A and B are shown apart, each in its own frame.
Chain A
Amino acid sequence: MPGVKIDKNYCKGCELCVKACPMQILKMSKEINLKGYFFAQLVEPTRCIGCRICAITCPDVAIEVNTHGTQFVLFEY
């Protein structure tokens, strides 16, 4: 069961992960972080497939991807 952890204080609100997520389960927050950016949030954690595409896209390395149990590795990275 995979999941992502987004450190909101690294996020600069570029929204690239929101566009990249194949499950479309990332959305921008309504609050702002310390720098004044809206940050990305995982809104439907149960639908995360652990593909890591959001983390690969993020220019600020704000996203960490974890999993437990069986995890399909969809591509080598």
Chain B
Amino acid sequence: MAKKLMKGNEAIGEAAIAAGAINYFAYPITPQSEVAEYLCWRLPEVGGVFVQAESEVAVGNMLFGAAASGCRVFTTSSSPGISLMQESISYMAGAHLPVVLVNIMRGGPGLGGILPAQSDYFQSVKGGGHGDYRIIVLAPSSVQEAVDLVILAFDLADKYLTPVMLIGDGMIGQMMESVEFPAKYAKPATPEGKDWALTGAKGRASRIAKSLFLDPAKLEINSFKLADKYKEIQKSETRCELYKVSDDNKVLITAYGTMARICQTAIDELEEEGISAGLFRPVTLFPYSEKELYAESTKKNIKAVLTVEMSVGQMVEDVQRILKGKRRIEFYGRTGGIVPTPNEVKDKVREILKIKKTK
């Protein structure tokens, strides 16, 4: 298929269709309403289901109902809307159901702002709803990567019977980049072969999609079943990328999403000044590539690890936890919708290395 110039939001919608997911329930919220505006005419073209629900609370619960059918379902929303879906995410995780959610993050907390931010790391990675569960969290840094990760998200959700969330930020949603979709689209997913799908109790005992276990022994079993699932996911599904990582690096920068791209530019410009820095970019925020981060950070040449986020410091807490005090950790963040510039990142690197800025 040829490359197309597409807005991130629309590309995400098209990517779901490419993955055989044609059932979409959503509520408008800036900065991702364009997904619904695109899918409302695109989904009928492929015989899909489009519902604009009355609230994100309803969206989360419609996903819950539809997910139990064995067909692929998804939604897109932004930070305040994702807050409203926490109830149903907790229920779907407890009921072992696959679902894909996309959070096009905006400034928070509260009504916050409509410009990009990365302040939902805690909400998605540490679990925003109640109970012992996690969700797989993927962080694209370009529109093409968003397309690829949406398709991966559905496969992971079906493989592990768990909610998977893609977190982009307003920039990923709004910017236009060239994207390529798979040459062959997957056929719309069906309940076939899924022994957990509700298909009607014909010739078999009834199936129940539930998370209630009043017997504490049974509830413990369910929670441990989930914990084992996450251990398996942690073992097999971590993904990360390194950029210009070498033994000359003095600083290792960690960043995700579009923030990582800005850091790449900073790294390129620092290289011209003779300062060597590398980038560790996690693609999966849960499960986190902890081994790789630890290995790269504790190399002898690394003087400090600089975490750059569009928040007041969320992923940096995981970096601190993973490095166990073995390296100096610094943080730089802007938030409220303000996006750090490459110059700000460069200034911070020079500050860490006590290098005066020339010119």
- The reply to whether A and B meet directly (CB within 8 Å) is no
